Amino acid sequence: QKEVEQNSGPLSVPEGAIASLNCTYSDRGSQSFFWYRQYSGKSPELIMSIYSNGDKEDGRFTAQLNKASQYVSLLIRDSQPSDSATYLCAVNIIKSSGNTGKLIFGQGTTLQVKP
């Protein structure tokens, strides 16, 4: 079982729709969760971070975390063609010695928003 799993997609949604991206993780010691967006040929860009159970909203983006189910998701409302990219889920495991500075990434989900 991979430590962080995402559907590779592509996930195709029409412009204006809600895109739902999902991620599961295996280590219950995971403490911090991140969503990055990566355009083709570019580096990952941090778009959301979430640390506690529940929802966190930032503009058109909502991150949802359920630690009991080891599940984190990203909702993109009013999807735009410019949202077409690969979305990477990342998890940071905090050890007793402190933050490891290590992010474990899923393989990413490719999102296509069609005009």
What backbone phi and psi angles, to 5 degrees, belong to 18? -95, 125
C-alpha span between 6 and 61 (Å, rounded)? 18
Site for another protein contains 26 (CB under 8 A): no
Q: How many residues bind another protein (CB under 8 A)?
A: 24
Site for another protein contains 43 (CB under 8 A): yes
Strands 54-58 and 19-25: unpaired
- Taking the complex as a whole, how short is the minimal distance between the CB of residue 23 and another protein, in angstroms? 13
C-alpha span between 109 and 8 (Å, rounded)? 4
Tokens 């490719």 belong to residue: 110
Instruction: Name the 3-class secondary structure at 59.
Output: coil
Q: Which of 7, 20, 49, 70 binds another protein (CB under 8 A)?
A: 49
Site for another protein contains 75 (CB under 8 A): no
Query: Is the CB of residue 113 less than 8 Å from the CB of residue 83?
Result: yes
Q: Which of 51, 55, 59, 80 binds another protein (CB under 8 A)?
A: 51
Site for another protein contains 88 (CB under 8 A): yes
- Taking the complex as a whole, how short is the minimal distance between the CB of residue 93 and another protein, in angstroms? 10
**Which residues of the shown chain bind another protein in the complex (CB under 8 A)?**
32, 34, 36, 42-46, 49, 51, 88, 90, 92, 98-108
